A = this chain, B = another copy of it.
Amino acid sequence: MSIEDLRNLRRDLHRHPEPAWREFYTTARIVDELETRPLDALYVGPEVLGEDRNAVPDDDELDSWMARAREAGAREDIVERLAGGYTGALAVLERGEGPTVGLRVDIDGLPILEADDDHRPFEEGFRSENEGFMHACGHDAHATIGIGVIDAILDSDFQGTLKVVFQPAEEVIGGGEPVVAGGHLDDVDYLLAVHVGLDHPSGEVVAGIDGFLAVHHLSVAFTGESSHAGARPEQGRNANLALATAVQNLHAIPRHADGATRVNAGVIEGGTASNIVAEASEMEVEVRGETTDLMEYMGEHAERIVRAAGEMHACEVEIESVARAPSAVSDPELADVVGAVASGVEGVERVLPSDALGGSEDATYLMQHVQERGGKAAYVGIGTDHPTGHHTPRFDVDEESIRIGIETLSGAIERIAVERP
């Protein structure tokens, strides 16, 4: 695929951002591309994933996104294979004796309304057509890099097996565990994962990112009792007030001297009418920690606070654990190979051996799995000039970094097969 074709692919994906487990168009587009290549195997949706998954939307929601994918031109036969929201794909290339190298790219978008001014995707006509959703974290570029790496390896002397997994549902920390459960990574000797940007400008490469925040995502429901807010305010048990108290106090969990922590009550919703005391309210909360212990410290406080907020307003509380991801580290030997290759790639001006992510990632599940079985893993950062931060309405990538990503990763894969670090 030419650089121009890759750019067009990325822009097509950018126009069709799909959130977790709803990547129907995206998967279909990727599979459609992959089928034109001489692969040794191509697994689609349920063939890639284990059965247990978190944060899967209900059937109505899935149906509406399947319909939207079809309208956007997704191939019907592929969409059908993804029923139930089993999205994603995995391509396998077998090229003789050699180690099995895995590459993981993620493909989902975010529920963010994309900007329609002062924003290149808008100006150049590839702004999101799924209003309210957006590729605001560069996963459109990641998927494109995945295709580009396959092409590059097909053109190379690589000896060994390459598995490229196009993982769904990273943004909800949902896809990592099912990909592991799917079993395709059990024989992987070396795993690379990739992310663009992360506040590194175009021309920088981070060979092995560390500092993943462990994360726990909780769903909380308060159930009180409705009453007429004018006539019988005292008969209500106010689920909105319980939620407000919880939100305030969650954000006030004491900081921890052992390292970074995070908390966010990202989604809140409650009540039915202004004149009814709210019977029910819900929120989506996440806590993070620089280590798994710190994440658990935050989680214990969060749970205690939420339960007490319910008691305070005589509401029942249900807490559901939606998703978790551990922390992880890149193996320095593997990162060294990546770094050495990157130094020789055109356009790369600076290679950092490591840097802290400062966020969370469910790639850590894949990395842990490979490492626990004796393999090595590295999470590679490909710098890209992004005008605003990740997860904001004007996020964009410098498309030149797609080429850098492809050359760095395919070069590293070739050399790994030789050097077996």
Contact = CB atoms under 8 A, between A and B. Distances in A.
Interface of A: 110-112, 171-172, 198, 213, 215, 217, 225-236, 238, 240-241, 243-245, 247-249, 251-252, 254-258, 260-279, 281, 284-286, 288, 297, 304-305, 307-309, 311-314, 322, 357-360, 389-393
A171 B257 contact: no
A2 B86 CA distance: 58
A298 to B, nearest CB: 10
Given A233-B254, A236-B254, A309-B312, A274 B266 contact: yes
Contacts of A360: 230, 275
Contacts of A231: 198, 257, 357-359, 389-391
Given A244-B243, A267-B270, A276 B236 contact: no
10 contacts: A217-B274, A226-B392, A226-B393, A230-B359, A231-B257, A240-B267, A251-B252, A266-B274, A274-B284, A305-B312
Given A240-B265, A262-B255, A391-B226, A112 B272 contact: yes
Contact of A308 (B288, B309, B358): B309
Contacts of A267: 240, 270-274, 278
B392 A227 contact: yes
Given A267-B278, A275-B264, A305-B312, A234 B256 contact: yes
Given A231-B358, A267-B278, A390-B232, A273 B111 contact: yes
Contacts of A234: 254-258, 297
Given A249-B312, A256-B234, A276 B226 contact: no
A283 to B, nearest CB: 8
Given A261-B255, A390-B231, A171 B266 contact: no
A213 to B, nearest CB: 5
Nearest to A228: B391
Contact of A233 (B111, B233, B256, B393): B256
Interface centre among A217, A232, A274, A309, by most B CB within 10 Å? A274
Contacts of A308: 308-309, 311-312
The quantity of this chain's copies bound in the complex is 4
A271 to B, nearest CB: 4
A260 B233 CA distance: 11
Contacts of A265: 240-241, 244, 271, 278
Given A198-B231, A255-B262, A270-B268, A304 B314 contact: yes
A218 B194 CA distance: 45
A224 to B, nearest CB: 11
B266 A273 contact: yes
A290 to B, nearest CB: 10
Interface centre among A172, A230, A233, A271, by most B CB within 10 Å? A230
Given A233-B255, A234-B256, A268 B240 contact: yes
Given A228-B359, A243-B268, 20 more contacts: A112-B226, A112-B276, A112-B279, A229-B288, A230-B288, A232-B389, A233-B264, A238-B251, A244-B245, A244-B247, A245-B245, A251-B251, A254-B277, A255-B255, A255-B260, A268-B269, A268-B270, A274-B286, A308-B309, A308-B311
Nearest to A216: B274
A229 to B, nearest CB: 4
B275 A266 contact: yes
B266 A278 contact: yes
Contacts of A232: 257, 358, 389-391
B264 A229 contact: yes
A294 B389 CA distance: 19
Nearest to A264: B229
Contact of A262 (B225, B230, B266): B230
